[in-house]
Structures are given as C-alpha cells and as structure tokens.
Chains A and B, each alone.
Chain A
Amino acid sequence: SQTIHQWPATLVQPVGSPLSLECTVEGTSNPNLYWYRQAAGRGLQLLFYSVGIGQISSEVPQNLSASRPQDRQFILSSKKLLLSDSGFYLCAWSQWGPPTNEKLFFGSGTQLSVL
C-alpha cells in the first residue's frame, strides 16, 4: 500500500532564516506531487505541483520554491522566510487512473511558525 511521509511535524523559525520541508511517497511510482499551505481559518492554497522529476509548476508568486530530485521526493524551500510564510504546510500525492483515480492523499502536515 502507498504511504506518504512529511517532516518535520512542527517548526519554529526566525524571519530571514532558510526553510526545507521534505516529503516522500512509498509504494507507488511516478505520482503527481503537491504542496499546499493552509493559513489559520482559511482554505488550502495550492503552492506547487509536479507531474514528474524536475517538472514543477508554481501556482502563486512567493519567496518559496519546490524541487523534485527523485521520483517520489518533493522538497519545499525558502532562502529567507517571511512572517507571512507561517501556516500549515501539506504535501499530497495522487495518481492517474484506478485504483486511486486522482484522489489526493495528504501527508500529516508541518506547522510552521515564523517569528
């Protein structure tokens, strides 16, 4: 069965510091991978998605970037964090066709607080 791992669970970082959040998927190959952010009391905002190694699409302009160095690894980074980067970050995967039929499966999330 497929599993998705995301770490760390919580992170407190000072403004201006770098960021690296990692996500890996097991039990499947060539998944579609996503990074979402959820601000307090708000919906999930799609930040990046990837349909293959080295293929990254950005949904919103920001100081964040994403990379997919391996098929099942997705990394969210920043060189200098802003206060507005605080939020709940979720990695997710999906796959074309049965049995999952493009349902999104989420990692456990990272609560990032930028102080």
Chain B
Amino acid sequence: GQNIDQPTEMTATEGAIVQINCTYQTSGFNGLFWYQQHAGEAPTFLSYNVLDGLEEKGRFSSFLSRSKGYSYLLLKELQMKDSASYLCAVRDIYYKLSFGAGTTVTVRA
C-alpha cells in the first residue's frame, strides 16, 4: 500500500508563492497526481508526474523525485480563488490511486 504525507494547512498572501510538499512510500510507484478540491465540491485534476523533474502548467508547477519519494506543487501569483484543499495522490502498479489527507491553503488579501 501507500503512505502519503502532506502538511495540513498553509496560509499565504495574494500574489505570493506557496509550495506544498508531499512525501510518499509505495510498494510500486506508477505516477503522482495533484488535485484541487474546493469545500463541498469534487476534486479536479491539476497535474501528473511519472518521471523525475518539473511539469509546468501556467501558474501551477509540480515536481517529482522518485528516488526520494517526494513531490511538490508550486502555486505562483496566488489568487483568492486558489483557496482550496490540495490533494497529493499516488498511483500504484495496479493503477489504484491513493490520496493524502490534503493541504488546506488559505489565501489572504
């Protein structure tokens, strides 16, 4: 199975940058996903990493180091609408996706 750890909460100012770290332990790694979830809503896909390195998508970037069991999601130029929970999820070799508990990001004006 997987063991996925990420911080519970983070707070940042509008326009700033925030980095959400995720560490994982898995018996068979087959990809790492980041999802965004606003309160009371379903998660929506943000990014996917299967090889080491940085994937950039506009204001959001995600990094993966498989040897370290580590990923981060970088949110730049924070906007109020970015206030949400960010979920790190690891896929195993059987294509099952396991989620971390999520990091609640609060953006302040």
Identify the A interface with B (CB < 8 A).
Answer: 32, 34, 36, 41-46, 49, 59, 88, 90, 94, 101-109, 111
Identify the B interface with A (CB < 8 A).
Answer: 4, 31, 33, 35, 40-45, 48, 87, 89, 91, 95-102
The answer to whether A32 touches B95, judged by C-beta atoms less than 8 angstroms apart, is yes
Interchain nearest-CB distance for A111 vs B (Å): 7
Q: Which of B35, B44, B87, B96 contacts A46 (CB 8 A)?
A: B96
Interchain nearest-CB distance for A6 vs B (Å): 8
Q: Which of B31, B42, B101 contacts A106 (CB 8 A)?
A: B42
Instruction: Sample 25 A-B pairs with CB under 8 A, ordered by A number.
Output: A43-B87, A43-B99, A43-B100, A43-B101, A44-B87, A44-B99, A46-B96, A46-B97, A46-B98, A49-B96, A94-B95, A101-B48, A102-B91, A102-B95, A103-B45, A103-B48, A104-B45, A104-B97, A105-B45, A106-B43, A107-B42, A108-B41, A109-B40, A109-B42, A111-B40
